[in-house]
Chains A and B, each alone.
Chain A
Amino acid sequence: SQQGEEDPQALSIQEGENATMNCSYKTSINNLQWYRQNSGRGLVHLILIRSNEREKHSGRLRVTLDTSKKSSSLLITASRAADTASYFCATDHQAAGNKLTFGGGTRVLVKP
């Protein structure tokens, strides 16, 4: 079953704007990851954040994690057309054994 649920399902912004998407999950996690998928292609890892971390940065990406609210957010600053993709959160749940559970994704369109 899907544990991570992304919000919004789709997002359209102008180049240069920031894009924020959220991920909520139901049960306690060990780790949370964000992935990007360009249309019909494989997923590419962006950031891994552990349950004892609150924020991580990678280039123009900023991820936050609030374990009390069971939610995470991914912020893409100064977006570019090349950021157009689907973004997925993936959770590693304490009770779920050896697997990542993916949400349904947020489709981001960055208009030039």
Chain B
Amino acid sequence: EAQVTQNPRYLITVTGKKLTVTCSQNMNHEYMSWYRQDPGLGLRQIYYSMNVEVTDKGDVPEGYKVSRKEKRNFPLILESPSPNQTSLYFCASSASPGGRTEAFFGQGTRLTVV
């Protein structure tokens, strides 16, 4: 079954404690991205990756890092989380960049930073 898997689904952490949200896809997609979803603001892109070792900033990259060492994995790293990063996070992958093909989304990670 084609899927994007994110872990963990829920996470409560304290300010400043580094964390990583993992994302893995089994569709051999080259393009992957991270979004955050906040009430009233819709989904905003954090980072995206066109292929292995190729990453670039989206609309709201501050406070986040990503890496793409393997095609299937695209972890999101918060080196020093702050309360304004409390949000619902989604990883997505697609065969082509932009909107040329459908995007597959993970189930989301609800992060609370206290």
Contact = CB atoms under 8 A, between A and B. Distances in A.
Contacts of A40: 88, 108, 110
Interface in A74-98: 88, 90-92, 96-98
Interface residues of A, number: 29
Given A102-B42, A102-B43, A30 B105 contact: no
Interface in B87-106: 88, 90, 92, 97-106
A69 interface: no
Given A41-B108, A43-B90, A98-B31, A92 B99 contact: yes
| Chain B at the A interface: SS class | strand
Nearest to B88: A40
A33 interface: yes
Interface residues of B, number: 31
Interface of B: 4, 31, 33, 35, 40-45, 48, 50, 56, 58-59, 88, 90, 92, 97-108, 110
Given A98-B31, A105-B42, 13 more contacts: A30-B100, A31-B100, A33-B99, A40-B110, A41-B108, A42-B4, A42-B106, A42-B107, A42-B108, A43-B103, A48-B99, A92-B100, A98-B48
